Structure 1
């Protein structure tokens, strides 16, 4: 069996460190917020090169609280991608605003700035750019559009911690960056966890206030808030893993390069890596003819794959009322019908990688 992700393999390499760190927290009796969370916030801010970050309960909460802190109103429109996890659009809806879906670039799977430009209206308040699969979106073009129209760009970097655009870490180019530490991410906790970072102190202060029931001091609420506190156990796990992140991302890039080389003479299209970007391959996602049949064949051979994402958001029942029809966003719909993510994680052996490729070649009848 070759899984798409093997967290037990990761644990085998750093388990002793994790156990020591977790045991120290358990013995401390401090489980919510506290010094471990503060230390993680400092470490992440230093890693990203920003002055401010705040740990949160999830990446979804980071998006939700960012929109609240930015003052999004019910009449606002926020432009984003339909080719992502539902959380991105859901947080716009939760803020009372309307998600406006722009199509994606066929190569990067990220927002197409030209289509974004066509969807800007007087009600547009901002853009949420998703750095999908670990590939940075075209931040030059999106930020230029934002400046031209008086908008902000919020970065959904939940799949892209460590990725860079023209040498600058994603999550630090827009008004704020939102990160998920869901266990499957390149930097994953042992449960839900997230983080928001920004160069804007007032924005981070507002998010911090909202995340703690709208209170700076207990029993002294200043605004309607949420409960999105990061717990110390997740923070200490993430602090251990953060020390390995660059090494793990480099390993992912090497694996991706090897895949791309070995798949060169097959019908599949390997992921594109923009020359302006440092892709961290949260997923190694190909376009594959006969995608569903290939996925079933690989499953029969004991090889795990995933389809991220089989139904674009604009065609899901939740957003039917917005009036999008099949064919409205053709590149997103074509990607949903063709993409397949192959096994990738830092511990993936070369033998397993070669076997994945061998079985793909076998499916397509290539000797």
Structure 2
């Protein structure tokens, strides 16, 4: 005799708190699904815990094993991944359009039924997190930007994006953190090249309809200026000069102005951005060169630009393009034509002796 199969029942409507949106992808035969768990990123967790949660995703759940998920996904011609940002945990899948119900259900299982077994943390999630962190930190640019976050915000957004090994966590710690953030009010589902009515129907029939009710709010992000971080090491010298951006529109113009005004160099890489976060934003200019002296000279020029920037309005088109390229939209219609940033933070990785301190600029 066959054992009686248990049947999981789900509601027939999408939970009101779950936000569902769709975007078009003209000319693409591939669909994608992105489930964003807000307030579940590195700024909200104990240092490194959100990264371990991301690395623990798509492993064994109550409904299917991690191996089964991988094999089924391969047969469907799809792929999936989990990433952590400072604001959110993002679960993403790409697949052929007809596989939409499978991936809606699979990601729902991740959010509601991951088992968080101790051996998976030891054998899979922890080694993967350490490797990902090591690869990222091999870049002086990334390392300098991390340091800039740390001295600008200190806590919250100042926490490391990836697990750095400074604290130890158990699988139960990860499970408890997941339980605290996997709430319907935190979840946003974005489908690309899918029919919105179908997406909502499949969500209502998936484990996503069983998410606990609730929502977490982002903590206020306090910032400071006039700080230095200097990490001496061999190799190229990266410097990031920046400050918390209180006026994202105006600082978007400033980023376009700085990127256009700093002299071109065959050896140095220069970039300027405003990164909007939930509740705060960071403006920065990054400079990397094999020569510490060149990095130092460009940092001095960047500081001069920041102290008295005028005529920003003519950079509106470039600023709009830059924001779109970053995947963000900022209304710059009310941006100011000039701005002064007399006090800023500076993070340097490499030949720190060749780069002035922030209070010397």
* TM bracket, shorter-chain basis: under 0.3
Structure with higher Rg: it is 2
- TM-score, reference length from structure 2: 0.26
Structure having the larger proportion of residues in strand: 2
